[in-house]
Chain A
Amino acid sequence: MDFPDAKILEIDLTSGSILKKTLSSEIYRLYPGGSALGLYLMMQDYIPGTDALDPGNILVFSVSPLTGLPISGISRINVTARSPLTGTAGDSQSGGFIGSYLKMNGWDAVVFKGKSPIPVYLLIDGDHIELKSATHLWGNVTGEVETMIHQELGNSNFEVAQIGPAGENLVRFACIINKCSRANGRNGMGAVMGSKNLKAVVVAKRKGMEPYDSEKFTELSKSVKSRLEENTTVAGLGQFGTDGDLEGINDVGFLPTRNWTSGHYPEGASNITGTKMYETILKNRDTCFSCAVRCKRVVEVPNMVDPLYGGPEYETAAAFGSYCEIPSLEYISLANQLCNMYGLDTISCGATIAFAMECYENGIIDEETTEGIKLQFGNVEAIPAIIKKIAEREGIGNILAEGSYRAAQKLGKDAIRMSISVKGQELPAHMPQFKPAVGLIYAVNPFGADHQSSEHDPFLMMPPDSRERIRLAKIGISKGYMDTTTMDDDKVRFAFESQKFFSILDTLCLCQFVWGPAWELYGPDDIVNLCKYGIGWETSIYELMQIGERRINMMRYFNAIEGYTKSDDVLPERIFHPLRGGPTDGVILDRESHEQSKEFYYELAGWDKDNGNPTESTMRKLSLHWLL
């Protein structure tokens, strides 16, 4: 079977025009969906120097040729635009159902240009594409808006990806929410929607897609049952959610605590872990399209937390819990709910509040500035109050809505020391001191610190006959380690090769808990088979890895045009200073080793050793000459 063409919707929000376009299979195969397709489409018309919140920014929702097939972990939808948080190429993925339905309606991507004169939402129902007024929806929180849209359209057979008030108010870490509980969380894509007066993308539910080779595809799909039985890591994710490991991470002393000054939270970790959630407030386990893992949490706290808004992930529990020293799953769940109502990224929001707490305790901001909120670490009451101020850009919230990096620049003194961010994006809850390869990717990743852009160091400690090591060997990573903290040339290769692999996942819109290069349910060989049985795409690991590398280089090239260099690939200074307390008291990330690893990474990536940007030959090698 030939590789398919891509069907693209192009919406000019300024004029209201709607174009239906086709991208040829020859090009689509180079950028087969998700983030790579989003970048390709964005860079067709992007004018260098355009501000992220200017109408000239280009926003793309995209899925892949595989999306909508009936198998676990295939639900992701990608959003691409220049990021208002980092200023770089921006990129964010979410699970749920809307991506699958977008594809089932016949569309691979939706490109938004310009700015609507009034708030609107886009309705997609097969070939019926319509911009509808959203003036009556503007200002409402996500739960209310979803209900209003369903009532307006006469039934609930529509998925809604929307911004909340935070996106409308251009909070730089505003996200896009679907099902009131799933987020294209990172990089501030919600603010880009807000800047375009685009409240929501609404997609009609449709019937599923038929695989190319039904018999073999069904075999692959049904094997999920036995894979779950024998894969305790993924089964544990299903049972206890992503928060299941929080206590273990604390036990080894690498749970970011008190705005990353410590790796140990003895007073609170056991209260905020996934097992505690399971035993106390968990109401249900939710899932995404066709997925058997069911890792999504649904929690309920009477008179406090509504199950409509899902439940906290590990990142959320850490960002509002240990970062802010809030030892309460109830308040963390409330924070999660407020972020999902207002449309805020929980990582950046929690981390920015932790930053503000440290500023408060060091006298950089005071009670007058916070309008009476005592913003000390551990003050549970402060969290909901500050979240609302951020979403509404009210008082101190107007400064914090810029993200911790820009807020630090406005606050002055030594506040910048307290912003734990890379390229302006706050660090997720995996410490480079424990996982130096992840730390390397935090530094060099084109869109700021991200924990889902490469495999994590500890899996290299598994025995050579383990599932993890056998799979990693298939992408060229065969060396094992007796600890997580060693950083050498082979570890840099691990970081880069696994980054390319994760880049495939963000392109094919596959979930990283189900598909991946190590511990996941399905490994590298399975992805090749998925492509073959699913759509008749005869591919190989080689082609896929090159696609992943192409995407990374497109982003890096975009950044280069905007003036970014290796001088922006910098971890926060705090990472190189001793942690305080617990089993990791005094532990640092070795600066010299980290710097050497970056230099080797640039060499491996084929990037200029002086400025860290892709060389012409690297671009040409990856068929990106059209960008030069």
Chain B
Amino acid sequence: MKIILNNNIVVIPNGFTVRQLIEHIGYLKSVAVLINGKQLLSAQYKEYQLKENDNVRIIRILGGG
């Protein structure tokens, strides 16, 4: 199925969770996730299943050091 990820159309398997998507794109550190403009809680990442045409924004948290 198609979703919009950070303004790009991408194809992912049906039933893909947010956690699986984060791992798929290789963001290993802390991220914030917005689905259709609404922010998810961290606890939702593992279970939340993406739907066709979801507009997903995954934000890498870039800190200090």
Query: B14 in the interface, Cβ–Cβ < 8 Å?
Result: no
Which of B40, B43, B61 has most A Cβ within 10 Å? B61
What's the nearest-Cβ distance from chain B to residue A212, in Å? Answer: 31
A461 touches B41 (CB 8 A): no
Residues of chain B within 8 A of A459, CB atoms compared: 30, 61, 63
Cα distance A233–B64 in the bound complex, in angstroms: 11
Known contacts A245-B62, A314-B65, A463 near B28 by CB under 8 Å: no
Given A464-B41, A466-B42, A482-B39, A456 and B32 touching (CB < 8 A)? no
Q: By the criterion CB–CB under 8 Å, are B30 and A245 in contact?
A: no
Q: How far is the CA of A460 from the CA of B52 in the complex (A)?
A: 29
Choice from A462, A482, A512 contacting B64 with Cβ under 8 Å: A512
Question: How close is A82's CB to chain B, nearest CB, in angstroms?
Answer: 26
- The answer, yes or no, to whether A458 is at the interface (CB within 8 Å) is yes
CB of A615 within 8 A of chain B? no
Which chain A residues border B43 with CB–CB below 8 Å? 465
Q: Indicate whether B24 reaches chain A with its CB closer than 8 angstroms.
A: no
Which residues of A lie under 8 Å from residue B33 when comparing CB positions? Answer: 463
Contact of A296 with B by CB under 8 A: no
Q: Are A232 and B29 in contact (CB under 8 A)?
A: yes
Nearest-neighbor residue (CB-CB) of B39 within chain A: A463
Query: Is the pair A451, B59 in contact by a Cβ cutoff of 8 Å?
Result: no
Quick check: is A49 within 8 A (CB to CB) of the other chain? Answer: no
Q: Please tell me the number of chain A residues within 8 Å of chain B, measured between CB atoms.
A: 34
> Given that A465-B43, A468-B30 are known contacts, is A458 also in contact with B65, CB under 8 Å in the complex?
no
Task: Say if the beta carbon of A513 comes within 8 Å of chain B.
Answer: yes
Chain B residues with CB under 8 A of A438: 64
**Docked complex: A315-350 residues within 8 A CB-CB of B:** 315
Q: What is the size category of the interface that chain B forms with chain A? A: 10 to 19
CB-nearest residue of chain B relative to A252? B62
Q: How far is the CB of B40 from chain A (nearest CB, A)?
A: 6
Distance (Å) between the CB of A319 and the closest chain B CB?
14
| Residue among B30, B32, B59 making CB contact with A233, cutoff 8 Å | B30
- Could you say which residues of chain B place their CB within 8 Å of the CB of A430? 64
User: Are A242 and B65 in contact, with the CB atoms below 8 A?
Assistant: yes
Whether B30 contacts A513 by the Cβ 8 Å rule is: no
Whether the Cβ atoms of B64 and A248 lie closer than 8 Å is: no
Cβ < 8 Å to A, chain B residues 17-65: 28-30, 32-34, 39-43, 59-65
Report B-chain residues with C-beta under 8 Å of the C-beta of A480.
Answer: 39
B28 engages A245 (CB within 8 Å): no
Knowing A461-B32, A461-B59, A462-B32, the reply to whether A513 touches B42 (Cβ < 8 A) is: no
- Residues on A with C-beta less than 8 A from B32 are 461-463
Contact of A605 with B by CB under 8 A: no
How many Å lie between the Cα of A451 and that of B30 in the bound state? 19
Give Cα A443 to B61, complex, Å: 23
A158 within 8 A of B: no
Q: Is residue A220 within 8 Å, beta carbon to beta carbon, of the partner chain?
A: no
CB pair A463–B63 under 8 Å, yes or no, is no
Alpha-carbon separation in the docked complex, A456 to B29 (Å): 15
* Any B CB within 8 A of the CB of A624: no
A146 within 8 A of partner (CB): no
CA separation between A466 and B32, bound complex, in Å?
A: 9
Give the residue among A233, A254, A452, A463 with the most B Cβ atoms within 10 A.
Answer: A463
Contact: A456 with B60, CB < 8 Å?
no
Q: Mark A306-319, 1 if CB is under 8 A from B, else 0.
A: 00000001110000
Q: Which residue of B lies closest to A428 (CB)?
A: B64
CB pair B64–A465 under 8 Å, yes or no, is no
A236 touches B28 (CB 8 A): yes
- B30 near A248 (CB under 8 angstroms)? no
| Complex: chain A residue closest to B45, CB-CB | A463
- Of A237, A248, A254, which is within 8 A of B65 by CB? A237
Tell me if A487 is interfacial: C-beta within 8 Å of chain B: no
Q: Assess whether A456 is in contact with B41, with CB atoms less than 8 Å apart.
A: no
In the complex with contacts A232-B28, A232-B30, A236-B28, A245-B41 CB distance below 8 A: no
Distance of B13 from chain A, by nearest CB (Å):
23
Are A233 and B41 in touch, CB under 8 angstroms?
Answer: no
Q: Any chain B CB within 8 A of the CB of A249?
A: yes
* A242, B64: Cα distance in complex, Å: 8
Query: Given known contacts A464-B41, A465-B43, A482-B39, is B61 in contact with A458 (CB within 8 Å)?
Result: yes
Cβ-defined partner of A466 (8 Å) among B28, B30, B59, B65:
B30
- Tell me the nearest residue of chain A to B31, going by C-beta: A462
Instruction: Give me 9 A-to-B residue pairs in the complex whose CB atoms sit less than 8 angstroms apart, sorted by A's number.
Output: A254-B62, A314-B65, A438-B64, A458-B62, A462-B30, A463-B40, A463-B42, A464-B41, A512-B64
Q: What is the interface of chain B, defined by CB distance below 8 A to chain A?
A: 28-30, 32-34, 39-43, 59-65
Q: Using A462-B30, A465-B41 as known contacts, list a sample of 13 further A-B pairs with CB atoms less than 8 Å apart, ordered by residue number in A.
A: A232-B28, A232-B30, A248-B62, A252-B60, A315-B65, A451-B65, A456-B64, A459-B61, A463-B42, A466-B30, A466-B42, A468-B30, A519-B30
- A residues within 8 Å of B by Cβ? 232-233, 235-237, 242, 245, 248-249, 252, 254, 313-315, 430, 438, 451-452, 455-456, 458-459, 461-466, 468, 480, 482, 512-513, 519
Q: List 8 A-B pairs, minimum CB-CB distance, nearest first.
A: A242-B65, A461-B32, A458-B61, A233-B29, A465-B41, A466-B42, A456-B63, A463-B41
